[in-house]
Structure 1
Amino acid sequence: MGKEKVLRFVLGDQLSRDLSSLSDADPKRDVILMAEVSGEATFVRHHKKKIAFLFSAMRHFADDLRAEGFEVDYVKLDADDNPGELGSALASAIDRHQVRRVVMTEPSEVRGLEAAENWREELDADLEIRSDTRFLASHEDFVAWATGEDGQHPKSLRMEYFYREMRRRTGYLMSKGAPEGGAWNYDAENRKALADNVAIPTRPVFKADDTTKEVVELVGTEFADHFGDLEPFDYPVTRDDALAYLDWFVEEALPGFGDWQDAMKQGEPLLFHSHLSSLMNCGLLGPRECCDKAQAAYREGKAPLNAVEGFIRQIIGWREFIRGVYWLKMPDYANSNALDATRPLPGFFWTGETKMNCLSQAISETRANAYAHHIQRLMVIGNFCLIAGIDPKAVQEWFLIVYSDAYEWVEMPNVLGMALFADGGFVASKPYAASGAYINRMSDYCDRCSYKVKKKEGETACPFNYLYWNFLDRNKQLLKQNHRMGLILGSLDRMSADRLKTVKSDSEAFLEGPEMRSDYT
């Protein structure tokens, strides 16, 4: 007698043939369940392009599995019997296929794992929840590194040391036990401003097929009131297209990524960035194959070390580190607010309509593309939220809504830890606060702004300038405990009483003024 039929439940961010729940799947026996449900699309009001990207990628992945000979039970959003949430979809499929065993890979977020553990208690079948082996560091690996010999959770963690451990473990960019080129990190070589004569590589366009067109129409109808532009839609949504996009990046954009990783340019949302995070986070690409391609380009002399190291650091360093922090610190981490920031999110975060050109550019590009690169997110949007004292929960929700690569595991530690310093320094060694001078140095945004970046006070001064000093003054007691803040806080202490009074009055006028209205319809 053959083995019993197993129902394999695949979630929308698990679109990988390397998924642990599919490792022993038998196309002659097992059924694979996938479901589009309104509950996942609306628990926050996700960007329309994000929903379309995931639904189309899911449908194409299901087709790939069918081509292998698998029976795929795919529940479309507009199916008459769609129950609207994952647990009910799973229960219905168990009844339909009369199975006694279900296998799934662990959900990527706490809320998903809690739901799955409840299903295990409630379903009329045995549910096996397997580890997600697509990451290079398991939960156990990260806890062992983070807690060290004493087994106690530390007060702070630093990505750089985790990254070095991951380099040693994986062997990426290592030579005879030492880092390639003699240094672990070439971040100092990733900060060039973009000259006008630098040619930006032309991105490939992925034409929507019939499946994607059907999804775009569905999303346009069912989620018409969600944030963001749905069309034009040209995202890669298949495994083949994802691999083609990776090849294009390594060949055309990676060589320039190192020098201009931190640069920003008006009307150029992607520059030399990979734009692969959405594909990795949903499973169409694996982190190892991305790093392998980049390392091969370096070994073959096709990309410089500062570019390849920076790209690999984002994957095996930052991406893995952030996931580790999320699972180490949740659920309490979600409520972090060390700086007691309570201001509502301004309405222009939904429209992009603000006189601050840097924010208008970053938010408008987010609205159009469900994407902004990491410096726009950290040093424009995040920096503004930090120095303006925006409520961390509101900022978290916004980031989760608007970006196609955003899931709670990656969004929350980046926002709370890196952008807002809301965890008090657990992730970041200092607040990433900056005045307008940084944005002016790394972009051409200030040339077209209504405000004057070199002006420090008054109605036409760049708001980043006075808000920066106001932030430091407002939080100086807490920040004095941070050794990296000593120099700048010394400058604050030497500021004249009249100058500080102007900083506070300009900040109050702006924060209570029309730019910061929170109403949005």
Structure 2
Amino acid sequence: SEHFYEERGALAFFMEEKKSWKMENWYRHLRLKHDVLMSESKPVGGAWNFDKENRKNWRGEPTPNSLRRPKHDHTKLWGEIVESGITTFGNPTSEAFQWPLSREESLVMLKDFCSANIRFFGDYQDAMSVKHQTLFHSLLSFSLNLKMISPQEVINTVVQELVEDRENIASIEGFVRQVLGWREYIRGIYWAKMPDYLKSNHFLFGRELPGWFWTGDVGMNCLSTTIKQSLNTAYAHHIQRLMIVGNFSLLAGLNPHDVHHWYLGIYIDALEWVEAPNTIGMSQYADGGVLATKPYVSSSAYINRMSDYCKGCQYSRKEKHNTKSCPFDTLYWDFLSSQRRFFDKNPRMAMMLKNLDRKSDEEKSLIANHAKVLREGIEEL
């Protein structure tokens, strides 16, 4: 298919005799096979992966350039939906729908991304800010997943930017890794593991989603900002989805199936083949490690490092495990403690568990007690 580099079953065939499935192995295989960012069978820039250079925070500079986004008036269509009695949530923005509806509009956005924002995409692809919702992201996932443009032409266009800027390899490789690596890997996981994959619930979590998932009215600034943005624009970039909403959902013990359906319903680029493995596997670790080698969880330290969300929040990172402290911190340590049996033999969790072991029995007890209070009072956070 022109809309994917590989057939549905290619990943399963590639991993058939391998002990564990790792995206990096698949990514390198595809780079070689399709000659993407390669020079004489070696990676351009001297490394396969520049991920360590893709983790800078953004403090207002450089200024992201605004992409030329289309505006479509769907007021009439929205009126028909309302008249039909269909239950909806979020802001439809029917009078100014800002997503492409054609190949031509998608190509304009691709061109703008390459001319304006690709230079800084790699540096700040994990950054988050209340000052700018999209930063340097391309917003092309909707066009790709709805098959208005192909991944081949997107990657070819982006890679062509190396001709103009040879020093931008980290940014370009970071983008290529998202499309050629993760997108193809996620699709392969979906077709290899369905239909039982949707039933995955490794930790047997079953707590219902709090009501503020549908309003964003929560005291935690990071969650409020991300959820309200999602409700208003049907968009949040991958770190907002993974390390804000997903991180909290896992730490709070929310039902992964409910989280999956929420993501599927709220994000405009969420088709099941791409959303389900990202949510069930990477975000909620409900598959027990099929997709990811460790759960993507963190305390407030990561959120503070990669965003400005903690500033002005009603919860304080300086407080410890009380009504004024950041819920992420208590829930993070309690998750590691209560689920430790699953991670003791995982080398990627060793540092986290070592830090947990440094805490006194008194603090561990305080953590467990306050975590229970937080989960039981989740509606009032």
- TM-score per shorter chain, which class? over 0.9
5 Å matches for 1:454-469?
Answer: 454-469=318-333
Distance 1:202 1:303, change over 3 A: farther
Taking the aligned partners of 2:162 and 2:79, their CA distance within structure 1 comes to 42
**Alignment partner of 1:388 is 2:257:** no
Task: Name the SS for the 1:205 alignment partner.
Answer: coil
**Alignment partner of 1:215 is 2:84:** no
Deviations 1:200-234 (A, max 9, x none): 2123231326xx55434434544663111111322
Partner of 2:184: 320
Q: Which runs of 5+ in 2 are unaligned?
A: none
Deviations 1:272-305 (A, max 9, x none): 0111101100111110010011000112228711
Distance 1:243 1:220, change over 3 A: farther
Partner of 1:13: none
CA contact (8 A) 1:157 1:426 kept: yes
Shift, 1:338, TM fit: 1.1
Distance 1:474 1:396, change over 3 A: same
Indicate the larger mover: 396-405 or 492-501: 492-501
CA contact (8 A) 1:262 1:442 kept: yes
Task: Name the SS for the 1:446 alignment partner.
Answer: coil
CA contact (8 A) 1:156 1:427 kept: no
Q: Which amino acid aligns with 2:128?
A: M
Taking the aligned partners of 1:445 and 1:487, their CA distance within structure 2 comes to 26
CA contact (8 A) 1:297 1:303 kept: no
Taking the aligned partners of 2:257 and 2:27, their CA distance within structure 1 comes to 28
Taking the aligned partners of 2:312 and 2:299, their CA distance within structure 1 comes to 17
CA contact (8 A) 1:194 1:443 kept: yes
Partner of 2:7: 138
Distance 1:480 1:311, change over 3 A: same
Partner of 1:365: 229
Partner of 1:331: 195
CA contact (8 A) 1:278 1:405 kept: yes
Of all paired residues, the percent bearing the same amino acid is 41
**Alignment partner of 1:225 is 2:87:** yes
Partner of 2:363: 499
Shift, 1:411, TM fit: 0.9
CA contact (8 A) 2:9 2:192 kept: no
Deviations 1:378-423 (A, max 9, x none): 0111110111111110111101010111111111111111111111
Distance 1:142 1:516, change over 3 A: farther
Taking the aligned partners of 1:327 and 1:207, their CA distance within structure 2 comes to 35
Shift, 1:463, TM fit: 0.3
Distance 1:176 1:195, change over 3 A: same
5 Å matches for 1:196-215?
Answer: 196-208=60-72, 212=74, 214-215=76-77
Taking the aligned partners of 1:248 and 1:402, their CA distance within structure 2 comes to 26
Distance 1:155 1:338, change over 3 A: farther
Partner of 1:168: 32
Taking the aligned partners of 1:286 and 1:351, their CA distance within structure 2 comes to 35
Taking the aligned partners of 1:221 and 1:250, their CA distance within structure 2 comes to 42
| Residue of structure 1 aligned with 2:136, choices 263, 266, 272 | 272
Taking the aligned partners of 1:220 and 1:358, their CA distance within structure 2 comes to 31
Distance 1:431 1:171, change over 3 A: same
Greater share of residues in strand: 1
Partner of 2:149: 285
* TM-score, normalisation: structure 2: 0.95
Shift, 1:175, TM fit: 0.8
Q: Which runs of 5+ in 1 are unaligned?
A: 1-131, 149-153
Shift, 1:235, TM fit: 1.6
**Alignment partner of 1:423 is 2:287:** yes
- Over the aligned positions, Cα root-mean-square deviation in angstroms equals 1.7
Q: Which amino acid aligns with 1:228?
A: G
| Residue of structure 2 aligned with 1:513, choices 354, 369, 377 | 377
Shift, 1:337, TM fit: 1.1
Shift, 1:133, TM fit: 4.7
CA contact (8 A) 2:114 2:161 kept: yes
Taking the aligned partners of 1:301 and 1:223, their CA distance within structure 2 comes to 53
Taking the aligned partners of 1:331 and 1:467, their CA distance within structure 2 comes to 31
Distance 1:225 1:302, change over 3 A: farther
Please list every run of at least 4 consecutive aligned residues from structure 1 whose deviation after the TM superposition is greater than 4 angstroms: none
**Alignment partner of 1:184 is 2:48:** yes
5 Å matches for 1:291-302?
Answer: 291-301=155-165
Indicate the larger mover: 307-316 or 135-144: 135-144
Partner of 1:409: 273
Q: Which amino acid aligns with 2:13?
A: A
